[in-house]
Structure 1
């Protein structure tokens, strides 16, 4: 039953990853919080294992999503010079620090970040006139990359919830921001996965088939379906109108935040 649950989570998050460029962590983390205790994950390591496992699945989900977006011409490679390296370094360092924080604090931080992002995206979807694009200088990219990497560490996401609004505010068309976010999420999640694996390698009470704070059965089950459904989400992102994308994104983040905040 647990394997079937992981497969279902993968199917849903894969589609959402392709549609919104979010990596799927905003669904994976809350679901793993419910399922991992049944697999023997200790309560003290529950949130960190959910985060670490989420990042490990995002690597492969984002690869599948990014490939499809690249075929559709929705990936802008300008971000890989400064923005992405800053993302990777930040998420690696902060991913290590996250493992020392209490579970309750991490859950509240996760919920608050999702609420903020949903409100910001909903507001932008109601604007009749597109706002003037802000600067996209090397300094802005470095600061944004470091900040988004840190915030993503606490939320267990591929950064899409932060990267998409950031790129959109810098003049990237919504579909191009989503596609580029998927590509960024690959390297961000890779850096975070390595960090969570290393920081949890000496924890003695983790169950079998755990590599640090990455639980392999959940990882395999989620990835087995997410890499396929992400392609359908990417195709949908290229066909749906921009306002619908933004409102759907906002509603999705808000629902997840509320469920996590009151858990």
Structure 2
């Protein structure tokens, strides 16, 4: 029965990701939080498990996404190679930071991040691309990757909402920025998920069917179904108005963000 629940979550997350054109992290994390709560798992590790499991599922979806972008020749592999070391170290380190945070602390930072993403999406505020601008030095790109990796691991996302604006500011056109960001999501997801596995094992998580902070049944169910339904969501997206879709999703993210903010602050009152 539990696996069926995760298959349904994967179907919803994959469809929504394809429909709204975003990674599934900000969709998967809140749903898993609610499900884990209803299953009466240890409240102190529920948010950590939701984030860690989300990162694990992104490994599968990232492989599919980057393969499609690579076939179109849009991935800037030279930039990826410069960002990757920072992304890997940052994501693992970010998992360690998340491990030190309380569940309420994670709820607050993810909640505020979701509201910020919703605001940017509602405004349609893509960073203007100035072709005259150049990418920074290799060292600076590694540092940027580190920052993106840390934040992405804490939020349980593939980093697209952070990597794309960074590349845009460096003069990279949107198509290549999105494609390169998709490639960057893979090392973030792998390193971040392994980090949550490692730190979860040190914390001796007592929830059944887990590997560290990664719930194995949830990982399998969500990965399988999201991979299948993302394509369906993408097809439906071509039928509907992109502007309307973005505003609807920004409303959903705002609701999720405010819910997490409320949950996080309620523990202090």
TM range (shorter): 0.7 to 0.9
Deviation at 1:135, TM superposition (A): 3.4
Q: Within 5 A, what are the aligned runs for 1:1-263?
A: 1-18=1-18, 22-125=22-125, 130-133=128-131, 134-137=133-136, 138-232=138-232, 250-251=250-251, 253-263=253-263
Off by >6 Å, runs of 4+ in structure 1: 234-246
Instruction: Assess if the C-alpha contact under 8 Å between 1:22 and 1:159 holds in 2.
Output: no
Residue 78 of structure 1 aligns to a residue whose secondary structure is helix
Deviation at 1:162, TM superposition (A): 1.2
| Residues 1:131 and 1:177: Cα distance change in structure 2 (over 3 Å) | closer
| Distance across 1 between alignment mates of 2:113 and 2:32 | 19
| Distance across 1 between alignment mates of 2:29 and 2:124 | 26
Which piece of structure 1 moves more, 229-238 or 141-150? 229-238
Where structure 2 has 5 or more consecutive residues not aligned to the other structure, the ranges are 264-269
Task: Compute the RMSD of aligned alpha carbons.
Answer: 3.0
| Distance across 1 between alignment mates of 2:191 and 2:105 | 23
Deviation at 1:183, TM superposition (A): 1.6
Q: Deviations over 1:176-227 (max 9, x none)?
A: 3223222211111000111111111144452221111111111111011112
Which piece of structure 1 moves more, 176-185 or 107-116? 176-185
| Residues 1:70 and 1:252: Cα distance change in structure 2 (over 3 Å) | farther
Report how many residues are paired.
261
Deviation at 1:159, TM superposition (A): 1.0
Q: Deviations over 1:225-251 (max 9, x none)?
A: 112233455678899998778667655
| Residues 1:113 and 1:160: Cα distance change in structure 2 (over 3 Å) | same
Which piece of structure 1 moves more, 118-127 or 140-149? 118-127
TM-score relative to the length of structure 1: 0.84
| Residues 1:188 and 1:126: Cα distance change in structure 2 (over 3 Å) | closer
Deviation at 1:169, TM superposition (A): 3.0
| Residues 1:164 and 1:14: Cα distance change in structure 2 (over 3 Å) | farther
TM-score relative to the length of structure 2: 0.82
| Distance across 1 between alignment mates of 2:151 and 2:189 | 13
| Distance across 2 between alignment mates of 1:230 and 1:37 | 26
| Distance across 1 between alignment mates of 2:145 and 2:119 | 21
| Distance across 2 between alignment mates of 1:255 and 1:9 | 18
| Residues 1:126 and 1:99: Cα distance change in structure 2 (over 3 Å) | closer
Deviation at 1:70, TM superposition (A): 2.4
Residue 67 of structure 2 aligns to a residue whose secondary structure is helix
Instruction: Assess if the C-alpha contact under 8 Å between 1:15 and 1:226 holds in 2.
Output: yes
Deviation at 1:145, TM superposition (A): 1.0
| Distance across 1 between alignment mates of 2:20 and 2:100 | 30
Q: Deviations over 1:73-101 (max 9, x none)?
A: 44222322211221111110121221121
Instruction: Assess if the C-alpha contact under 8 Å between 1:125 and 1:247 holds in 2.
Output: no
| Distance across 2 between alignment mates of 1:163 and 1:16 | 21
